[in-house]
Amino acid sequence: MNPMDAESLLNELNSNDEHERVEAKKGSLLGESALESVCAFSNEPGLGGGYIVFGVEAEEKTLFGPVYRVVGVPDTDKLQADLATQCRELFNLPVRPRVSVQQLLGKPVVIAFVPEVGPSEKPVYFEKRGLPAGAFRRIGSTDAACTEDDLLVLYAGRQARSFDSEILPGASLSDIDSAAIAEYRRLRSLRDPDASELRLPDEEMLLSIACAESSGGEIRPTVAGLLLFGTRAALRRFFPTTRVDYIRIQGKEWVRNPGEFASLDIQRPLIEAIQTAKAAILDELPRRFLYRLGNFNVVTSRQFLKRSFERRSSMP
């Protein structure tokens, strides 16, 4: 499901009623039922998360289902603050819904999109209730309390996936740097001009090399995709401490407290960071140096070593 605004969500409710990805709440107060929906959307495997619409209620039932009317949220600030606080404090790990206030038929409503958490983080559950009773799954339009069998399903996802294959909550293809993809295509063509993925559009290419995955009806980057091709803003947001450090000191051994040294912090997509680090190393190489080869002293040049290094590292 593509990102939806308040009007689209109201139309969805009136067309299809509440379902696995949309839940309606009257919204005067944040109740326990809404938090159970947060838990269920966070847990349900492969769902990709879901929407909670505060300020809408079912008014009457017709032959085609209930009709939803807009009642509005009387205090949107309080509802947002309560939602953020309780999502942070009541569960075994903080849940971060994306919340917005929108106008619908002249009344304020609050839209909360709850992303599905990564497999390694499931199950999300109410800490005070414990497991299995404190965990919920989204089954149709219902937030169903988990059984022991449900927990086995949620825990199985932890074992089936590695960290770099996970999808991070909030990540999207807008976090992918097109320049990094172009650099990958250039380097890949040097090694194999006929590589099959080079003939694919960018999105399909990312899927083919396991750097993206289809989740909840949209293509989203994996951890590996973000590390290899993520924009600098995305890397700062998702991996603020991940970078390549190039440090040059005098001498041939590392010491605890070096005197003068030069350093370079590289926080770029890995496909570019490798090239940047390589260029920095090559720039520091001496132009000529002497080394012993058998009984001979050999003088070589920086350019000779550079060409040799580039041949060996044409692909990361």
User: Rounded mean pLDDT of 5-21?
Assistant: 91
Q: By the 8 A CB rule, do 235 and 241 touch?
A: no
The closest of 100, 114, 226, 236 to 168, measured between CA atoms, is 226
Residue 234 domain-assigned (yes or no): yes
> Beta partners for 214?
219
Domain match, 16 and 146 both:
yes
Lowest mean pLDDT among 7-21, 76-90, 128-142, 289-303: 289-303
- Between 272 and 253, the higher pLDDT residue: 272
Structure tokens at 67: 């009709």
Q: Range of 232's domain?
A: 173-238
- Cis bond leading into 221, ω under 30°? no
Please state, in angstroms and rounded to a whole number, the distance separating the CA atoms of residues 27 and 83.
11
With cut-offs at 50, 70 and 90, classify the pLDDT of residue 310. Answer: low
**pLDDT reported for residue 155:** 85
Q: Give the SS3 label for residue 218.
A: strand
Judged against a pLDDT cut of 70, whether residue 290 lies above it is answered with no
Please state, in angstroms and rounded to a whole number, the distance separating the CA atoms of residues 71 and 57.
7
Residue 75 domain-assigned (yes or no): yes
Please state, in angstroms and rounded to a whole number, the distance separating the CA atoms of residues 154 and 123.
6
Domain match, 117 and 141 both:
yes
DSSP secondary structure letter of residue 111: E
Judged against a pLDDT cut of 90, whether residue 158 lies above it is answered with no
Domain match, 221 and 145 both:
no
Judged against a pLDDT cut of 70, whether residue 291 lies above it is answered with no
Q: By the 8 A CB rule, do 237 and 253 touch?
A: no
Domain match, 151 and 30 both:
yes
Residue 66 domain-assigned (yes or no): yes
Please state, in angstroms and rounded to a whole number, the distance separating the CA atoms of residues 293 and 298.
7
User: Rounded mean pLDDT of 197-226?
Assistant: 88
Domain match, 16 and 110 both:
yes
Q: By the 8 A CB rule, do 143 and 33 touch?
A: yes
Counting the structural domains of the chain, the total is 3
Place of tokens 């593509």: 2
Judged against a pLDDT cut of 80, whether residue 79 lies above it is answered with yes
Residue 269 domain-assigned (yes or no): no
Domain match, 94 and 154 both:
yes
Judged against a pLDDT cut of 90, whether residue 307 lies above it is answered with no
Place of tokens 């559950």: 125
Stated pTM of the model = 0.55
Residue 247 domain-assigned (yes or no): no
The closest of 78, 54, 71, 45 to 150, measured between CA atoms, is 45
- Between 171 and 299, the higher pLDDT residue: 171
**At 142, which CATH number?**
3.30.950.30
Domain match, 187 and 96 both:
no
Residue 103 domain-assigned (yes or no): yes
Domain match, 79 and 121 both:
yes
User: Rounded mean pLDDT of 137-152?
Assistant: 93
